[in-house]
């Protein structure tokens, strides 16, 4: 039923059965953030959330322009979608003190921070991957 809400965050029934079923069946890696994103919108409001998303976009543009050796586009796109803005900014701050091979070092930084934050930066292809994702939630 349509309730004329801008997002699910506006609905008193969130998370509804339909949303939970969709989330349980879906293995697309960037959809990991659907539930946390809606919770974030509930907490800070849609406008503040959209400002955070704009910051993600800017950080991704910097990652791709300055630290992409040609093979990291997918990794950085996933990182900017799944990792928190705070962690992405942390990586940007840490890379400043590294002198050599910044592209390789930045990739390692992103991977290390994502592991610390229990975020999977790869496609979930197997049932084993899906089980691991559920355990991390």
Q: Is residue 83 classed exposed, middle or buried when 0-12, 13-18 and 19+ CB atoms within 10 A define those classes? A: buried
Once rounded to an integer, what is the mean pLDDT over residues 14-33? Answer: 71
Q: Is 133 left (phi over 0), alpha (psi -120 to 50) or beta?
A: alpha
Look at residue 137 in the predicted model and tell me its pLDDT: 52
Q: Can you give the pTM of this predicted structure?
A: 0.76
What is the model's pLDDT at position 1? 45
> Out of 34-38, 74-78, 125-129, which region has the weakest mean confidence (pLDDT)?
125-129
- Give 39-96 pLDDT, tens digit per residue: 999 999 999 999 999 999 999 999 999 999 888 898 999 899 999 999 999 999 999 9
CA–CA separation, 92 and 66 (whole Å): 11
The overall longest dimension of the chain from CA atoms, in Å, is 56
């Amino acid at each position: 039923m349509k309730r004329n809400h801008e997002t699910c965050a506006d609905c008193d029934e969130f998370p509804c059965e339909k949303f939970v079923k969709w989330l349980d069946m879906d293995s697309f890696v960037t959809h990991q953030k659907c539930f946390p994103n809606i919770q974030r919108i509930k907490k800070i409001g849609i406008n503040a959330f959209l400002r955070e998303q704009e910051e993600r976009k800017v950080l991704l543009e910097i990652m791709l322009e300055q630290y992409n050796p040609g093979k990291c586009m997918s990794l950085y796109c996933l990182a900017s979608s799944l990792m928190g803005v705070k962690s992405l900014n942390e990586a940007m701050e840490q890379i400043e003190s590294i002198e050599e091979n910044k592209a390789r070092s930045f990739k390692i930084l992103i991977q290390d921070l994502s592991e610390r934050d229990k975020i999977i930066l790869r496609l979930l292809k197997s049932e084993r991957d899906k089980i691991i994702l559920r355990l991390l939630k």
